[in-house]
Amino acid sequence: MLKDYFLIAVRGITHRKIRSWLTMIGIFIGIAAVVALISLGEGMEAAVLSQFSFIGTDKLTIQGKGIGLGAPGVGVVRKLNDNDLETIRDVNGIEIATGRLLRSCKVEFKDELIFGFTSSIPKGQEDRQLVKEVLLGSGEMESGRFLKTSDKYKVVLGNDFANGELFKKPVENGDKITVQNQDFEVVGILSSRGSFIFDSGILMNHDVAEDLFDADDEYDIIAAKVSNEKEINQVAERIEKALRKEHNVDEGEEDFTVQTPQQSLEALTSILNIITTVLIGIAGISLLIGGIGIMNTMYTAVLQRTREIGIMKSVGGKNSDILKIFLIESGLLGLFGGVIGIGLGIGISKIVEIGAKVFFGPGIIQAHFSWILIGGSLAFAFLIGTLSGIFPAVQASRLKPVDALRYRK
């Protein structure tokens, strides 16, 4: 029985080739646009997340609070200091905590000048271990060695300094590099982590950084490792409470923020989500119009097949049979349009990906196709088709057989 409905619907579509094609073009342009935007958006999100999902799930970061967006320690009202660090160390559940300076700086190497940032490596043995864990992950140094506590004007550089990404000429161990007008010797290069936070940073000992940036008893960021990963949220709350007391501020008026890894990710993805939602919303308008196109085609089909409907009814076709035939027809229009649209959308986002690679270098925009996306857009296209077909199909099913038979074009 269902097969018959399908056959009649398919015949209806194939009989009016041009009109069916035009109707489907309307759907597939919209689907293609939406699929391309979503896959690029998802790809971008994945790329951004990989830049930031670095510090491990057992570490918290504490920063001063500023207004607007910026790197840690930028434009904050009150810098964190030794008292804050001690307070955090005393919090129950903290295994180790350490403060670092993160400063924007100018860097010169062989007649080239760039603006980068310095991050400091604390002196204490355990503190160093924590920072090293964050910086190196499970990886090794690409070349050279890590900083020793006795190193003065020596730096370890992120991988981008060595691969020509930042300076045209790659920096090597033993080279002289000038940071904020002070010469430093490069003693080591970190292995690439695929994230600018590590790959373009300059590491120097904390006391050297303090001198260089004229910073005394202040930290831009405090990193803390919790002893039990599962309790990280409770520990974060405890830190907030302790610092509130230390800073003498009420809840909701903190001049600092405590971020769990999860929170940092959420903050990022929410911005990305807003952007993609707006774009997809605008692209979705064309899907709406495609749907209206289907509705239009179906109304016309009902009109042209009025006599056929009359005949079906007079030989015993029920209202529900007629309804199903027309609904299946419009659903198929949507579905076919969706299939072509997905193919086209994948093609477009691949082209954008290749174009971005040529113009901006690899890895910035990567299209990402999930099965959910493909399945979802197919289902959505089918849904649009069926929904747009409802009114025409209901109209067709309610035709009076006598009137329908008598109808003349």
Partner 1 sequence: MIKDYLQIAYRSIKNRKLRSWLTMIGIFIGIAAVVALISIGQGMQRSINEEFEKLGVDKLIIQSKGELGAPGSGGAVPLTISDAKAIEKVNGIDIVANMYMKIGKAQLDEKIKYAYIVGLPTDEQKELIDEINSYEVELGREIKRGDLSKVVLGINYRTKDIFSRKLRLRDTILINDKEFKIIGFFEQIGNPTDDESIFISEEAIRELYDEDEETTMIMAKITAGEDIDKVAEDVKKALRKEHNNEEGKEDFSVQSPTQLLESFNVILNIMQVMLIGIAGISLIVGGIGIMNTMYTSVLERTQEIGIMKSIGGRNSDVLKIFLFEAGILGTLGGAIGVTIGIILSKIVEIIAKTMGYSILKAYISPWLIIGALAFSFLIGTLSGAFPARQASKMNPVDALRYE
Q: Which one of residues 71, 311, 390, 394 is an interface residue with partner 1 (CB under 8 A)?
A: 71
Regarding 25 and contact with partner 1 (CB under 8 A), the answer is yes
Contact by Cβ (8 Å): 43, 26: no
Q: Would you state the structure tokens that stand for residue 151, as one six-digit string?
A: 């190193």
Antiparallel, parallel or unpaired: β 221-226 and 59-64? antiparallel
Shortest gap between Cβ of 214 and partner 1 (angstroms)? Answer: 10
Regarding 77 and contact with partner 1 (CB under 8 A), the answer is yes
Residue 182 region, left (φ>0) first, then alpha (ψ -120 to 50), else beta? Answer: beta
Regarding 394 and contact with partner 1 (CB under 8 A), the answer is no
Regarding 380 and contact with partner 1 (CB under 8 A), the answer is no
Regarding 359 and contact with partner 1 (CB under 8 A), the answer is no
Regarding 211 and contact with partner 1 (CB under 8 A), the answer is no
- Which residue number, 282 or 402, has a Cβ lying nearer to partner 1? 282
Contact by Cβ (8 Å): 36, 352: yes
Regarding 285 and contact with partner 1 (CB under 8 A), the answer is yes
**Beta-carbon contacts of residue 349 (< 8 Å; ≥ 6 apart):** 35, 36, 39, 40, 43, 367, 369
172/232 Cα distance (integer angstroms): 40
Q: How many CA atoms lie within 13 A of 83 on its CB side?
A: 8
Q: Which one of residues 2, 67, 315, 358 is an interface residue with partner 1 (CB under 8 A)?
A: 67
CA distances to 296, 319, 382, 386 from 396, rounded to whole Å, are 14, 8, 20, 14
Contact by Cβ (8 Å): 253, 78: no
- CA angle, 161 then 99 then 57, to 5°: 80
Segment near partner 1 (CB under 8 A); pick from 156-164, 193-201, 202-210, 284-292: 284-292
Q: Give the total of residues touching partner 1 (CB under 8 A).
A: 56
Q: Which of residues 88-147 bind partner 1 (CB under 8 A)?
A: 103-106, 108, 111-113, 115-117
Task: Count the neighbouring beta carbons within 10 Å of the beta carbon of residue 112.
Answer: 11
Regarding 267 and contact with partner 1 (CB under 8 A), the answer is no
Shortest gap between Cβ of 80 and partner 1 (angstroms)? Answer: 15
Regarding 249 and contact with partner 1 (CB under 8 A), the answer is yes
Q: Which one of residues 76, 171, 339, 356 is an interface residue with partner 1 (CB under 8 A)?
A: 76
Q: Which residues bind partner 1 (CB under 8 A)?
A: 18-19, 22-23, 25-26, 29-30, 33, 37, 65-71, 74-78, 103-106, 108, 111-113, 115-117, 180-181, 249-250, 253, 255, 279, 282-283, 285-286, 288-290, 292-293, 295-297, 299-300, 304, 409
